Structure 1
C-alpha cells in the first residue's frame, strides 16, 4: 500500500491536485483561525451580526458579478486553445464592464438596506467596501487562474490577505481589545485590496500581446451563457450563505454565529470540492476542447483517488473532534457538536461526488445545472421552515445535509448521462472491476449554444 501511495504521489496530475488541495486547506485553516479569533474578540451577538452581514456581502458580490467569473472560465480556455486572441480580449473587456456595472448596483442595494435598518455608517461603508473588493478578487482569480497560475489566482483570493487579518486579531486579543463588526470588515477590505493589486499586476504582465489586437465580440453567445452562469452562481451563494441569514431571522444572532462556525468547519470538505473545481477549471477545459479524451479520463481518475483519501481522513478528524473544534470558537459553541457532524456528512458526500458541477458547466451543459440548484435551494428553505421550529439549529443542519446529498446524486446522474463521465469516487470501483482497465467514453457536447 505504501508503494502504491508513493507511485500515486509521483504523478504530475496527483501533485497538481494535492498542491491545490493544500492551498485550499491552508486557506481554510486561516479562515478558521480568523473566524475563531473573531468570535473571541466580539460578544456572541456581535459575532452573529458579523456572520450575517458577511453572508449578505458574499451574496451581493456574486449577484454583482452577473455570472462573469464563470463566463471567463468557460470562454478564456476555449479561445486560448483555439488561439483566438481577438475574442480573448473581447470577452475580458466585456466581462470587466458588465461586472463593474453590476457591482455598483449591488453595493447600492446593500447600503440602502443597511441604512433602512438604521445601521452605523461605518458598518455600511465597510461592508460595501468588502463586497466590492471581494467581487474584484473573485473575478480576478478566475482570470489569473486561467492565464497565470492557480497560486496567483487562489492564493491572492483566499490565502495571503487572511494572514494579515489573523495577525490583527491576535494583536487585538493580546491587547485585550474588543473589535466591532465594522472594524473587522474594514480590516478585511484593506488586506484584500492589497491582494487584488498584486493579482492585477500579474495579469497585466501576461497580456502584453493583447494591446495590439483588435477586440472581437460574441455578445449574444456570452449573454446567453452569462445569464445561466449568473443564476447558478446566485443559487450556489444562497446554498452557502443564505442559511446563516435565515437562522439569524428565525432564531437569534448568537445562534446564527454558532451555525456559521459549524458550517465553516464543515467546509473542510467543501474546500476539497473547491480545490477539485479549481484544479479542474484550469486543466479539464483545455483537455475537453482539444478532444484529448484519454488524458481527461486519466485526470478524473486520479482526482477521484485523491478525493477518496481526503474524505476518509476528514471524516475521522471532524467526527472524532467535533466538540473540541467548535470549542475553539468559545465554550458555548462546543455544545452544538451534532450540528457540525451532520453538516460535515453532507459536505463529505458532496466532495465524494467529485466536480460534476464543474464538468457540466465547463462543457456547455450549464443549463442542466441550474434546475438542480433551484430544487436544492427550494428543498433546503422548505426544510428550514419545517425543522427549525421543531429542532432548532440542528434542524437547519439536517435540512442542509439532506438537500446537499440529493443535489449531489442528481448532478452525478446528469454528468454521466450528458458527458459520459463519472466524476465521483465510485469510478474507482468501476475501474478496478474492469478486466481490461479501460475507462469510460467521453461524449463531447455541442458547446456553441
Structure 2
C-alpha cells in the first residue's frame, strides 16, 4: 500500500506540474480578474440603477443570453472537442470548414433572434411592459454575445486558454467598469436602456479582438499532414451540444426570469448579486476545465483511459478542496460583499449559504459533465441536465411566488443536486470509473 501511495503521489505531482495545471493556473488568474472587474462594473451599475432598475436590466440581459445560446446552435461547445480532435489528426482543411460553417450559422441565427426580440418589443405586451425599454438595446447584443462564445470555444479547442478568455472575461468587463466609474464621477444618471447600450458596445470590442485572435490562429496553421475526408458534422451530435448549452444558460438565467415574471423587478434585482457571486464559487472547476476538456477529448481519442482516470482524480481532489474554501469564504463575507451593491441588497446575504452548498456538491461530484461531453456521451449528459432544470423550475414555480428570492436560492440548489446526481450515475456506467471525490479517494 505504501508503494502504491507513493506511486499515486508521484503521479499527482507530475500531473500538477503538467500542461493542464499550468493552463489552469493561467485560467484562474484571468477568471478571477475578470470576475472582479464584472463585480465592480455591476456593483457600480446597481448603485446607479437601484434594485428595481437593476432588475429590469438583468431581466433583459437574461433574455439576450438565452437568445445568444440559441443562436450558437451548440457550436461553441462542440468547437472545443472538434478543433482539438481534428488538430490532433492533422485534418486542417476539415477544421477550417468546421469553423466557417459554425461562424456563418451563428451569425444568421443570431440576427434572426435579434429581429424577433425587436418585434416582441413592438407588440407592446402587458406581460413585459416593465422590461420593454430594456429589451430593445439588449436585442442588439445577441449576435455579439454569441460571437464571443463561439470565438472562445474555437480558441479553447486549440489549447490557447488565455487567448480564449481575455477578450470576453477581461476586456469587456474592464471597459464596462471604466464607463460606470466615469458616469458616477461626472454625476450622470443611468437608466436601464443606457446601461444596456454601453454593455452592447463593450461586447462589440470583445468580438473584434476575439475575431482577430481566431483569424491569426488559422493563418498560422500548417497544411494537412494526413489524408482527410471532409463531410458534414453529425447533426444528432451537434443537437446534443446545442441542447447542453441551452439547458446550461436556462439554468443560469431561470431564477432571474422567474423572479421578474412571478415576483417583482426589485426582487429580481436583489437576487443579482447572488448570480454574480456564484461564478466566483465555480472558479476552481471552470478554470481547470478550460484545459481539461480538450485534454479529455485527446486522451479518449487516443484510448488512454488510465491516463484519463489519473488526470480526473487530480482534478476532482484539487477543485473540491478549493471550491469548499472559496464558497465558504464568500458565504462568511456575504454581508460585506453585498453592501457594495447598496443597502437594499444586504438582505440577500443568507441566500449565499444555500447556493454555496449546491456549488460544493457540484465540485465533489467531479468533472462529470465535461467527461461525458468530451467522450461522445453528450446526449446522456443532456438528459441529466434537463432533469436538473426541470427540478429547478418546478421548485421555483412552487416557492418563488410565495417567498421570492429565498425560493429562487432553493430552486437553484435543488437543480444542482438533481442534475449532478444523475450525471454521476451515468458517468460511472459510461466511463467505467467513479469521477467523484469518493472515487478519487478510494481509487475507483
**TM-score by structure 1 length?**
0.88
CA contact (8 A) 2:281 2:356 kept: yes
1:24 positional shift: 1.8
Mean CA deviation greater in 95-104 or 51-60:
95-104
> 1:216 and 1:305, CA in 2 relative to 1: closer, same or farther beyond 3 A?
same
CA contact (8 A) 1:55 1:245 kept: yes
For 2:3, the equivalent position in structure 1 comes to none
- 2:65 maps to 1:58: yes
- Listed as ranges, the gaps of 5+ residues in structure 2 are 1-8
Please give the residue correspondences for 1:253-264 in structure 2 after superposition, counting only pairs within 5 Å: 253-264=265-276
> 1:142 and 1:12, CA in 2 relative to 1: closer, same or farther beyond 3 A?
closer
CA contact (8 A) 2:282 2:323 kept: no
Mean CA deviation greater in 202-211 or 3-12:
3-12
Secondary structure at 2:182 match in 1 = helix
Please give the residue correspondences for 1:28-427 in structure 2 after superposition, counting only pairs within 5 Å: 28-117=35-124, 123-147=134-158, 149-208=160-219, 217-219=230-232, 221-427=233-439
CA contact (8 A) 1:81 1:289 kept: no
For 1:428, the equivalent position in structure 2 comes to 440
CA contact (8 A) 1:161 1:192 kept: yes
> For the aligned residues, what is the CA RMSD?
2.6
1:76 positional shift: 1.5
Secondary structure at 2:360 match in 1 = helix
For 1:26, the equivalent position in structure 2 comes to 33
1:48 positional shift: 0.6
CA contact (8 A) 1:148 1:203 kept: no
Distance in 2 (alpha carbons) for counterparts of 1:68 and 1:371:
19
CA contact (8 A) 1:58 1:131 kept: yes
CA contact (8 A) 2:316 2:367 kept: no
Secondary structure at 1:173 match in 2 = helix
Mean CA deviation greater in 75-84 or 286-295:
286-295
1:301-350: CA deviations, max 9, x gaps?
Answer: 22223212311211331221121112211111111212222112112221
**TM-score by structure 2 length?**
0.89
1:122 positional shift: 7.5
CA contact (8 A) 1:67 1:226 kept: yes
Distance in 1 (alpha carbons) for counterparts of 2:289 and 2:300:
15
1:127-168: CA deviations, max 9, x gaps?
Answer: 122221111000001111223611111111222221111111
Distance in 1 (alpha carbons) for counterparts of 2:29 and 2:235:
35
Q: How many residues align?
A: 429
CA contact (8 A) 1:28 1:268 kept: yes
CA contact (8 A) 2:294 2:374 kept: no
> 1:146 and 1:332, CA in 2 relative to 1: closer, same or farther beyond 3 A?
same
> 1:217 and 1:124, CA in 2 relative to 1: closer, same or farther beyond 3 A?
farther
1:176 positional shift: 2.4
Secondary structure at 1:206 match in 2 = helix
CA contact (8 A) 1:276 1:354 kept: no
> 1:331 and 1:8, CA in 2 relative to 1: closer, same or farther beyond 3 A?
farther
CA contact (8 A) 1:380 1:403 kept: yes
Distance in 1 (alpha carbons) for counterparts of 2:217 and 2:411:
45
1:209 positional shift: 6.5
> 1:385 and 1:206, CA in 2 relative to 1: closer, same or farther beyond 3 A?
closer
1:158-211: CA deviations, max 9, x gaps?
Answer: 222211111111121222222122222222222222222222222222213679
Distance in 2 (alpha carbons) for counterparts of 1:335 and 1:227:
41
Secondary structure at 2:140 match in 1 = helix
CA contact (8 A) 2:59 2:131 kept: no
1:119 positional shift: 8.1
CA contact (8 A) 1:307 1:425 kept: no
